[in-house]
Structure 1
Amino acid sequence: MKEWGRFLLIGTLSVVPLLVVIQVVLWLKSLSLSFFDFLSTYTNSSLYTAIVIVVALLFLIILGYFIEKTGRFFILSWIEYALEKIPAVRTIYSISKKITDMFMQNGDGSKKEVVLVEYPKDNVWVPAYVLNKYENTLVLFVPTSPNPTSGYTVIVDRKFILPTTLTLEEASKFIISMGADYIKKEEIAKKITEHQSK
């Protein structure tokens, strides 16, 4: 019975990733159908709804292209300018824009930095995203597992962090997998060892 229980546990754990993928696909399908039905109530035609969706997707692709190449898009600039004139909306828009900008490239085309920081105490290292910096002071977002969108915002001196070559995607995989997806482990282990030997 003990072995059967172990086999059951192993079998269950082996299909969990597949079940998660199926659940996400079903959720996206449900969301897409709900959105399609919502649009159809206004257009009164499946053809017009499909055209609206295709045009919206093309617009987002063009928008992404211009933002990546130039860093700005004139239509968005006008909308941002108008929103900055409305006090309550300005604050909400500014905060949400800074959060989304964290996951995009910098204006010079460079990637956002991922560093290691000792948090919540010495000799405990966690990956963190660099949100902002001024001279030797860094503003970091320390995400929590398994949800990288929740976490803590901390301000630290540059001497307390270890730079890495991790990308946002690699760091997010590490956080979501709760460390099971241990990317660039040799580099990270070497940096921590070197730091401790100082």
Structure 2
Amino acid sequence: MSALRKWLLTGLLVIVPGVITAWVLHWIVTTLDQTLQILPNAWHPDRLLGFHVPGFGVLLTLAILLIVGAVASNFAGRKLVQWGDALVHRIPVVRSIYSSVKQVSDTLFSESGNAFRTAVLVQWPREGVWTIAFITGSPGGEISSYLRDEFVSVYVPTTPNPTGGYFVMVRKSECVELDMSVDTALKYIVSMGVVSPAAPASLPSNK
């Protein structure tokens, strides 16, 4: 029985990562393939080739992003984007949703932004218990007037699903900045601590 149990666990360790990876890739490709619906029927790859080839939606999405980015990078494109923003801000309800999403996307994807660029250690949910969080910015506006010390805004992700979490403001002096990439920190969180990040070369190993 011990041998059968060992073989079963070994088989799971080999198959589960591959199956989950294939499922995620299939979901991404299938979702992006829906963008092919914007093409005229005469230009649809399935119609031209006579059979379905998954992945054309990914190429179309990348092409659209590159074209929109190239157009929006010049003077005329920026003016067109500004005109569109002004038009959306005149529509009730839509403007509140659009402005909130735009602020978040500008913060996350801007090259000059610092959101989700730094992983830190914070004491959460109580003193003496540590977890990994990501700096998203600094408190501003009315909130900053109530915080006497220097605070930072951090996102504390849950595990194993880091898309859910908590937004908290903590003293900057109580954050321990980590010398690891955000990707490495996310792997550590998703694996629930199983995949330990390598120690920086500058730090001596404890023996």
What TM-score do the two structures reach when normalised by structure 1? 0.71
Question: Of 103, 110, 121, which residue of structure 1 is paired with 2:126?
Answer: 121
1:149 aligns with 2:163: yes
> Which AA in structure 2 matches 1:6?
K
Q: Partner residue of 1:79?
A: 84
Q: How far does residue 133 in structure 1 lie from its aligned partner after superposition? A: 0.8
Relative to structure 1, is the Cα distance of residues 8 and 48 closer, same or farther in structure 2, using a 3 angstrom cutoff?
closer
CA distance in 2, matches of 1:170, 1:55: 30
Q: Report percent identity of matched pairs.
A: 26
CA distance in 2, matches of 1:65, 1:177: 38
Q: Which has the larger radius of gyration?
A: 2
CA distance in 2, matches of 1:65, 1:185: 41
Where does structure 2 lack aligned partners over 5 or more consecutive residues? 48-55, 140-148
Q: Is the 8 A contact 1:114 1:166 kept in 2?
A: yes
Q: Partner residue of 1:196?
A: none
Aligned with 1:116: secondary structure? strand
Where does structure 1 lack aligned partners over 5 or more consecutive residues? 194-198
Q: Is the 8 A contact 1:105 1:111 kept in 2?
A: no
> Which AA in structure 1 matches 2:14?
S
Q: How far does residue 160 in structure 1 lie from its aligned partner after superposition? A: 1.6
Where does 1:99-138 land on structure 2 (aligned, <5 Å)? 99-107=104-112, 112-134=117-139, 136-138=150-152
- Structure (1/2) with the larger helix percentage: 1
RMSD between aligned residues: 3.8
What TM-score do the two structures reach when normalised by structure 2? 0.68
Relative to structure 1, is the Cα distance of residues 45 and 17 closer, same or farther in structure 2, using a 3 angstrom cutoff?
same
Where does 1:1-198 land on structure 2 (aligned, <5 Å)? 1-36=1-36, 38-39=37-38, 43-47=40-44, 57-64=62-69, 73-107=78-112, 112-134=117-139, 136-186=150-200
Q: How far does residue 97 in structure 1 lie from its aligned partner after superposition? A: 2.9
